[in-house]
Every structure is written in C-alpha cells, then in structure tokens.
Structure 1
C-alpha cells in the first residue's frame, strides 16, 4: 500500500512539472508583438501654461505575448529616435491609453528630458511593455512629434532664481531662490552647492528680465548681467565643487560668486560683527557630505548666524541673517526679527545643509 502511495505521488509530480514545462514552451514559441498604433501626439503637440489643467490622451494597440499573461505598459520619451537615453513617464495605462495633464507633461519635458523652455524640440515616444521576470521587454516603434515646453513657475515678485547643471537644477522649472537683503533692496544672495563643471543662469518674473546670463568676461570677479535686449550667455561655475555664495546687485546689474562664508556671532561667541568675523567662527566645508559645520566650545544663549558677501553691508550683518527652526533653515530676507533659538554652552557641532535647507546641533 505504501509503495502504491509513493508511486501515485511521483506520477502527480511528473504531471505537474510537465504542465509547467508546457506553459514555458508555449510562451517561448509564441509570437511576441509589441504595442503599436500610438496616436494622440500628432505632428506637433501644442502645450501652454493656460492649458496646463487640460488632459492629453494617448491611445495605442496593446502588446501581446501570444498567451494570457500579465503585462504592464509604460510610456517612454527620448530626445533621440534611437532612445539612447530613454525616460519613463510616471503615468499608468488604462483601457489601452495614457491620460495626463499638460502641466504634468511639461514638468516631465523640462525636468526629466531637460528641454529648454520656449524652444521647439523634437521628441520621440514609445510604449514599453514588460511582464514576469525572465520574459522579454517589448518596445513599440517610436513616434516623433514637435513641442515647445513653457516656463511654469510661480515667481516671487522681483526675485531671482538660479538654474543649470552647474548648480544641480537642470530645468528652469526647478529653481533655487535668491534671498533678499534687509534694508538693501537692490541686493540678493543665496548659498548653493556648485559642481566642478557646468553653468547656470538666472530666471525671474518679467519685471526682473526673465531668463538672463552674463555678458562678456568677469572684471575683478564680477559678471555683468544680461538685459532684455541681450540676455547673455550661461555663467560658468568656478571649477571646484563646493558651496558658494552668489550675490546679485541690481543697482549695478552685476553678479559675484565667492566661496560661502558663514559665521556665528552674538552670545554664543561673546562677540559681534565685525570683530566676530574671524576664522575660528567661520563654518568649514565637509565636501564629502556636502554640508558646512562648526565645532567648538560655545557659550549658552541665542544662536545667531549670518553670511558675508561683498554686496552685503559688513557692519549690518543682520541684513543677511538666518536661523534654523525645527531643523529647517529660515532666512530673515527683508522681514523683521526672526524667532530665536537658544543653545546650551559646551562643545558642540552645528551642521548646515544648504542643499536640503536643514540645520542641526550635535
């Protein structure tokens, strides 16, 4: 009886594995057909800011693996028809189509594909299909269309922003804001991590000229900014990766870059500018972790931090003061006195991360 049971189990096992093998053979022998008939882009896809809430629908004929198997379709874009650097759009398919807003597409085109706003570009699109592990991914034939991305950021009035590969913000829609200087309305500044190579430009609302760069070479470290008539060229980064302070003086239409100089002042060091602006009170750079830090024995009291730059009054240090509250850096800019934070005396490390705009005490 036991022998019969073992024989029966063995037969069932052989039958089960045979069925699984048959399924694999069927899948491998099936004809794979990628998605096709992509429609909706047209020859030219017109997009604009007033249309940002409108819906774009792209239809297609789904791919087939020749058997009933789970499959997922995704929409991919590239700036070349050979798709040497494809980017996948984060939108799910439904009823053999993709639906998304004009605004979502514009954000993808400017930030993922890094297309320049207000310049017509040719874009390639295709449908990618994938299934279970080990099953080939299928790609449709690409379709090409022309489109012109638009600038879509909410600008603060009379405020500059940075963008460019040299400052880690490739698209104009993904920008770094310059801070205003209290009592000095023509000046603004920001601390930004700059890569070893690359460039950047400024962008703003129409009152501040839109997108501008430099005109000519720097003189004594100062760049002349572009104008509406001559918007200028990209501004190169200094060439060594690190934190830099970018200052803009609208009265002279100049821009100056210098290594970031951040200082502690006030009760914690028992001194005030300009006497507190010394090397022992200056934050050091941790290049590996892309932070700035200061380690020393502090006195207890209110934490006061500020930046120095040739465009900022040295004696009026509080014009460019900042603090971190609940771990987030807050700038005084052109506002009033900030909320204060007290620290206890003793050996501590203050760490600032200007990429993520955070601060902490360790």
Structure 2
C-alpha cells in the first residue's frame, strides 16, 4: 500500500508540473522589441510625384514581442529628419496592420505641404521638390509595446499644393452669456449674410452689461470660435474689451453687430463692428426710397421691448432694413410675415410681399425673432 501511495504522489506531482508548463505556454510574456527596421524603397532616389501617384509602398520587419501579435503601424513624415521637435514632423491618420503598406500619396502630400508652409514656404512656391523623411511607429492594438523604426529618405519628392482653398464663410453665429448662455443648441443666434454673400454678416442683438460673446461659423465648440482675437470696431460706445478670449461688452444695450471676414494667406481674419441700432422703413408706405432719420424705428430700453416704426403714411407693401456702410439697403432688408416671424432676405431673392394699412406701425423684437403690425 505504501508503494502505491508513493507512486500516486509522484504521478500527481508530475501532472502539476506539466500543467504549470502548459499554463506558461498559453500565457506568453510580452517582451519589449529591440529592433524594428523600415526598409528603404528600391527607388528612393527616383522622383516621386505625389500628384500623379496613388500610393507609396513601404515594408518593414515585424517587431519581436515574444509571440505572434497583432501590430498596428503608424507613418510619420518630416522634411528635415527631425522626429523629436514638436511641429517638425506629422503623424498620418491612416494606420496599417501588415508589414507591407501602401501609404496614400495624397495624405503624404498634405503633410508635406503643411510642413513646408511651417518652414516659411508660401503657396506660390508650389509645386516644389524636396526630400521627405519617413519613419514608422509600431505598437500592439492596446497601445503597449510601442517602438519606432529607423527613418528613411525619399530624395526627390514633388509636392503640389495639397491643401483645399481657404474660402470666406457663408454662415456665422453668436453665443455667450451676454445674450443668454453658452449652449449652442439653445442660446446661439444666427447672423444674417448680406445679399452679396461676401463674408459680411449682421444681426441686431441686445447685450447685457459685462456680457461676453464668441462667434463661430458652426454652432459648435470646434476650435474655430473667436472673440477678442478679432479686430473690434466700437462705433456705438459699447465699451468693447477682452475677457479670457471672449469679446467683452461692458455697456448694456441694443447693437447692430457686423462681422466682416477676409482671407489672408491661409487664415481668415475677422472684424467685429458694434454699430448704433438703427432700423428704417423704406418704400411707398413711408413715402420714399432713401435712408432718412425720420423713417427710423424707436429703440427699446431693454431686450424685451419692441423697435417701433413711424406710422405708415400709405397702404402698401412694407419694406424695411438696416443700413451697412457701402451696402445697398435692399441687401440687408427683412419683413414680418403673417405668422409674426421676422424673415430676413439674406442671400435670397425678393421676399414675399405683405401689404399693411396706413396709420399702422411695425413692431420688432430681434431677440425673440417676432414682429407685428398694429
């Protein structure tokens, strides 16, 4: 019986030892790779025309993680072989999962264009021929085990100007605690483009004392919003200033706010004007087609009040506008429709006409977007 017990114990021990060995085999240990080589393309001294090429083929060795592992490769591009200084290189957005990759030539072209501009080149310098340095980053799918390859050089790369044209915006919006809050979905006010659609926008708004404002093409916090970085023009005693990047309005009141945009190089430069809140009746209902002070609306004391026009002197189609410098009045006109909404012409054609009887006045509240004839 003792022999049987001893043999059983030996058998159990061997089984446990084998199980431990199997467990180590099924749970491999990650090791940090020490070598990772990006191969120099066979035609690295030839001219690569990025405008005429669809891709550039790169191949590399696979990092040794101690076991077969899914690896993600990322491409980095530099024009001066500097992969340590911020801004001297660009990491492309497309990633690859094999050691042979066809890198989109257009993606390299965009990266090279931006890097060349950062180095002092201008759009007129393109197309240009330059050396392009490339290296790879490899890592496991969970981001662990990151390692960088050597860099290789493509001696002659023809780079066209690969960035889209910078165009003036066609929309503009205002937000801020000066007009109610910072929620784009509920507090933003859309500005009105002039008929020419030339990057000039206007809107009549009431701003509280010490109110802060920002502006953006989109109704979103997307990094393109601006405030005090724009050039301020205070034509109405608003007391414009700066507060944490916002445009500060020290003095409460109604203002005709005008945003003008201009393309300067690769940037859009903005000017924000605060003007007196003047609104005018135009046309047969007031006896003429000239901007006259006697045809101007009275201005309410606060944001809840109405702008009120003089009494109409004739029953006819109502026309009204704000007047911007060097802009014809009809390019900034608007009307109150039967449903009581203020309808802005903007870039559209002639608006629906609305006939109002003489001796009535027009009432407008630009913050609520409502109006009436009484």
TM-score of the superposed pair, with normalisation by structure 1: 0.48
TM-score of the superposed pair, with normalisation by structure 2: 0.47
In terms of Rg, which structure is larger? 2
